[in-house]
Amino acid sequence: MNLFNVYPLFNINPVKAQGSFLWDDKGEKYLDFYGGHAVISIGHNHPHYQAQLKEQLEKISFYSNSVQNELQIELAEKLGKLSGYEDYNLFLCNSGAEANENALKLASFHNGKSKVLYFSGSFHGRTSAAVSVTDNPKIVAPVNFSERFIKSEWNDIKQLEEIFEAQGSEISSVIIEGIQGVGGIMIPTAEFLSKIKELCEKYDAALILDEVQSGYGRSGYFFAHQEFGIEPDMITTAKGMGNGFPIGGVLIHPKFEASNGLLGTTFGGNHLACAAAIAVLDVMKEENLMANAQQMGDYIENEIKDFPHIKSIRRKGLMIGAELDQDCSEVRKSLLYDHHIFTGNSNDKSVLRILPALNIGKEETDLFVVALKVVLDKI
Write out the DSSP string of 5-22.
Answer: ------S--EEEEEBTEE
Q: Which of residues 179-218 bind ligand PLP (CB under 6 A)?
A: 181-182, 210, 212-213
Residue 104 or 336 with smaller CB distance to ligand PLP: 104
Strand partners, 236: 210, 250
* Shortest separation between residue 269's beta carbon and ligand PLP, angstroms: 15
d(CA 51, CA 129): 37
CB-based closest residue to ligand PLP: 96
Q: How many CB atoms are located within 10 Å of the residue 62 CB?
A: 11
* Shortest separation between residue 315's beta carbon and ligand PLP, angstroms: 16
Is residue 177 near ligand PLP by the rule CB under 6 A? yes
* Shortest separation between residue 165's beta carbon and ligand PLP, angstroms: 28
Is residue 124 near ligand PLP by the rule CB under 6 A? yes
Residue 211 CB contacts under 8 Å (≥ 6 apart), including other chains: 177, 178, 223, 224, 225, 235, 236, 237
- The count of residues interacting with ligand PLP (CB under 6 A) is 15
Residue 210 or 364 with smaller CB distance to ligand PLP: 210
Write out the DSSP string of 135-196.
Answer: S-GGG--GGG--TTEEEE-TT-HHHHHHHHHHHGGGEEEEEEESSBTTTTSBPPPHHHHHHH
Residue 123 or 256 with smaller CB distance to ligand PLP: 123
Question: In a 3-state reduction of DSSP, which class is residue 123?
Answer: coil
**Judged by CB under 6 A, which stretch of 17-25, 62-70, 93-101, 155-163 contacts ligand PLP?**
93-101
Is residue 96 near ligand PLP by the rule CB under 6 A? yes
Candidate residues 40, 53, 193, 238; the one interacting with ligand PLP per rule CB under 6 A: 238
How are beta strands 21-24 and 89-93 bridged, if at all? Answer: unpaired
* Shortest separation between residue 328's beta carbon and ligand PLP, angstroms: 18
Is residue 37 near ligand PLP by the rule CB under 6 A? yes
Residue 125 or 268 with smaller CB distance to ligand PLP: 125
**Judged by CB under 6 A, which stretch of 77-85, 155-163, 175-183, 274-282 contacts ligand PLP?**
175-183
Residue 27 or 137 with smaller CB distance to ligand PLP: 137
Candidate residues 35, 121, 125, 317; the one interacting with ligand PLP per rule CB under 6 A: 125
Q: Indicate the helix (H) or strand (E) that contains 32.
A: strand 29-32
The helix, strand and coil proportions of the chain, stated in percent and rounded to the nearest 5, come to: 40, 20, 40
Site string for ligand PLP, 288-327 (x = CB under 6 A): ----------------------------------------
Question: How far, rounded to the nearest angstrom, does the alpha carbon of residue 247 sit from its chain's CA centroid?
Answer: 12
Q: Nearest-5° angle of CA 51, CA 55, CA 58?
A: 145
Is residue 123 near ligand PLP by the rule CB under 6 A? yes
**Judged by CB under 6 A, which stretch of 92-100, 113-121, 227-235, 359-367 contacts ligand PLP?**
92-100
Closest to 269 in 3D by CA, of 241, 249, 254, 244: 249
Q: What is residue 257's DSSP assignment? A: P
CA neighbours within 13 Å on the CB side: how many for 338? Answer: 15
Task: Report the interface residues with ligand PLP, using CB under 6 A.
Answer: 37, 95-97, 100, 123-125, 177, 181-182, 210, 212-213, 238
